Structure 1
Amino acid sequence: MDALFDALETRLASLPPQALNLPGRVLRESAVLVPLFEREGVPHILFTRRPAHLRNHADQFSFPGGRRDPEDATALHTALRETEEELGIARAHVRVLGMLDEVPTTTSFRIQPFVGVIPGDGQYRPNPEEVSFILEVPLRGLLEPTLHRTEKRTYQGVEYDVDFYTYNSHVVWGATARILRRLLTLVSEVYPPGWG
């Protein structure tokens, strides 16, 4: 699977990530890691489900990440720190492949997504205050067109599309699904049909 990760890294390096330009909106900085890993020759992606008691995005699937703290030198520091805090994956064990476009949320955050490769051994130490469930999904499975749909929503008088991915009984939607859609587009570009 190194070939896929190498090709994705090269593709991300050729595409400068688009920063948000939303005049009049003040958004708080945040960052996430989109964790990829290989297990038995099959590339996977990892999602976490947030506990029901959290104030923002409770009980939703997300990528490890959160608000940028003052001591975080960069957004990447935020993504790696949060991944370590949420899943127990040491920063030194993450191979960062690159960045995706910034994504806004209706809760007034701007998310800078980073794509990274984590160990595939499944040795997580989830923080129960931040993670209620870990979902591992074969990356190829998410490319099945029937898993993806969009719905129209309105927020502050503006209509927009919301992405949904349904894998078995699990539904990934909102900003996380928007990030996922962009990643899957790039994966489709760099890797031919029929890969494992």
Structure 2
Amino acid sequence: MPIDRLRAALLADTGGAGWRSDRDISGEPEVTDAVLMPAAVLMAVTREAEPQLLLTRRTAHLKRHAGQIAFPGGRVDPGDLSPVMTALREAEEEVALSRHDVEVIGQLDPYVTGTGFSVQPVVGLVPAGLALAAHAYEVAELFHVPLAHVLDPANHELRHGEWRGRRQRYYVIRHGEREIWGATAGMIVNLSRRLL
């Protein structure tokens, strides 16, 4: 996956073509737009011959999304001037990724989750080999996966399950022993569709 192709896809106006959210997948909205909590995540891609995507595994004791694989990110704070600022601030807090090391190259359409968040995915390029450190309270592990692998539609599995008493559909992307699923996988699928 060449970085130039990624950059061009993010600059292209798709008019929302191929956009999916948890609501889109399930077909049953759980919350109204009036109560959505704004949030942002950083999809950090390393600049190298085979680009890698940075992911974290959240600690097991957190109230929301405990133990799940996620992008660095979180709620928009009152002092954040934009979703980009939120994503960069959260990446600094969660994995010690300096905002000065991130070249923001674009954003995807907001992703609406079944848990009541409207998440703005921000895509940024970072140098390879940065010394990152997981915030002990929030992040149990940080790791990279090959960007080409997770963007390949052949690796996007649509599963069914029950959540809060309702049947749901969600994406799963496997890499080794790890399963990326839910909103994180959905945002990766959306990025993949921008590249089609």
TM-score between both structures, scaled by the size of structure 1: 0.83
CA spacing shift, 1:24–1:183, aligned 2, 3 Å? closer
- Please state how far the C-alpha of 1:86 moved relative to its aligned partner: 0.8
Quote the Cα distance in structure 1 between the aligned partners of 2:179 and 2:163: 21
- Give the Cα separation in 1 of the matches to 2:65 and 2:15: 25
Aligned to 2:47, the other structure's residue is in SS state strand
- Equivalent of 1:118, from 115, 126, 130? 126
Give the 3-state SS of the residue equivalent to 2:51 in structure 1.
Answer: strand
2:8 to 6, 10, 16: 10
CA distance in 2, matches of 1:169, 1:155: 23
Distance in structure 1 (CA, Å) of the matches to 2:52 and 2:67: 22
Question: CA offsets, 1:122-178, max 9 Å, x none?
Answer: 410221111111121111222455532112346678755300011111010000000
Pairing 1:76–2:84 present: yes
Which sections of structure 2, spanning at least 5 residues, go unmatched?
24-28
| Contact 1:17-1:100 within 8 A present in 2 as well | no
CA distance in 2, matches of 1:56, 1:156: 14
Give per-residue Cα distances to partners, 1:65-124, cap 9 Å, x unaligned.
000000001111100000111111111110111011111112211100011111211410
Which sections of structure 1, spanning at least 5 residues, go unmatched?
190-196
Pairs aligned (count): 185
- Equivalent of residue 182 in structure 1, options 149, 174, 190: 190
Q: Secondary structure at the match of 1:58?
A: coil
Partner of 1:137: 145
- Give, in whole Å, the separation in 2 of the partners of 1:17 and 1:65: 25
Asked if the contact 1:28–1:110 (Cα under 8 Å) also holds between the matched residues in 2, the reply is yes
